[in-house]
Amino acid sequence: AVSETIGSGGGGIAALPESDTICRYLTSKYRDVGPSFLPDDPRSNLIARLHDVYVAPVQGCLYKPAGYPFGIHRMRKDAVAELRKQLGIIDGAIEEGGETDGLYLCGREVSLADATLFPTMVFVKYMLPKFDVPENEALPPKIGAWFDAVKEGDPDFARVYDEVHGALEQWDANGRWDTIWMAGVRDAAPETIFDKIVAGDIPASIVRDEKDLLAFEDINPASPAHVLVIPKDRAGLSSLRESTPEHIEILGKLLVAAGEIARDESLGFGDGARIVINDGKDGGQEVPHLHVHVLGGRELTWPPG
C-alpha cells in the first residue's frame, strides 16, 4: 500500500498506510450503509496493521522488475523470505484471537482485516508458487482456510477474487514473470568448486563467513596475501557481465568485505591491496562463480600480465 505522510504536532512526520486511511474514512462516512467492518475491533486492527506495515511494502518482490527496493530489502530472495515470515505472523495473530465462530477473520461479521488481507492473498496464492513455493504452502494454514472459505461463502469476495485473478492471468499471458529473477529467470549453470566450499564439502582456509558471502585464502596465491571473496548464492553471477540491478546489494557487500580484508594486517596485508574481478576467458577468470581477488603483502606493479 502507498503511504500518506502527515505532519505531527511535534514537527515530526508520521506515515499512515493509505488503505487503512481510506477504509476508515469510508466506514465513518457511510456508517449507516452496509456492514460496519468492525472499525474498533482490536483483532481486526492488528491484522490490518500487520498487513499494511509489514506485508504491503515487500509484496512487490513477487512481480516488480529488478531495481526496486522491496521494503528494507534490495535482494529479492530476502524480500520473499520476509513476506512469508510476515504472513506467518499474521497467521499466528488469527490463531491467537480466540473465538472465531463464523466465516470471517473476526467472527460472523466482515471486518477491515478481511477487506485488507483478501486481495493481497489473491496475489500471494497466485504468485508464490512461481518462486518454487509449493502451491499448498503459499498461504499459511489459518489464512489459507479463511481464504478458501470466504471466497466460496461470500459473493462479494468471490467477485473480488475473479477480478484480481483474471488480471493476474492476463499478466501471465503477457509474460510478466519471464524476466523476474527466481520466477522466470533462474541460475541453471552447473555447480562449481566454490559451491562445494560454501557447502563445506571441500575444505578451505576461511577468513570471513557471513550470511551472504564467504572469504577464503587462494590455494594458489599470486601474492603473499591473496584472499577470494564470493557470494554464497551465485544467483546468476557466473561472471560480472551477468550482473543486473538484482545484484546491487550483494556486489556492494562483496566490495565492502574486500576493503575490510585489505586492511587486515593479520592476513599479511600492508599499505594497500589490489582488488580485482577477472571476468570471462579474456579476463583470466577460471571459476564461473563471481569472485573478488584481494591481493597484497607486497608492492604490486602495473599493468598486470
**Residues labelled as active-site residues:** 291
How many Å separate Cα 197 from the centre of its chain?
25
| 286: nearest Cα among 222, 233, 212 | 222
Q: Which residues pair with 15 in a beta bridge?
A: 5
Any residues with CB less than 8 A from the CB of 177 and at least 6 apart, and which?
A: 63, 127, 130, 171, 183, 184
Round to whole Å and give the CA distance between 39 and 161.
23
Note whether 196 and 183 are within 8 A (CB).
no
Is residue 107 classed as helix, strand or coil in its secondary structure? strand
What phi, psi does 59 have (nearest 5°)? -65, -20
Own/partner long-range contacts of 88-96 (Cβ < 8 Å, ≥24 apart)? 88/140, 89/50, 89/54, 90/47, 90/50, 90/51, 90/55, 90/117, 90/140, 90/143, 91/140, 91/141, 91/142, 91/143, 93/43, 93/46, 93/47, 93/50, 94/47, 94/142, 94/143, 94/146, 95/142
Within 10 Å of residue 233's Cβ, how many Cβ atoms? 15
How many Å separate Cα 254 from the centre of its chain?
19
Q: Which residues pair with 228 in a beta bridge?
A: 216, 293
Grid coordinates of 252 = 556492494
Any residues with CB less than 8 A from the CB of 276 and at least 6 apart, and which?
A: 292, 293, 295, 304
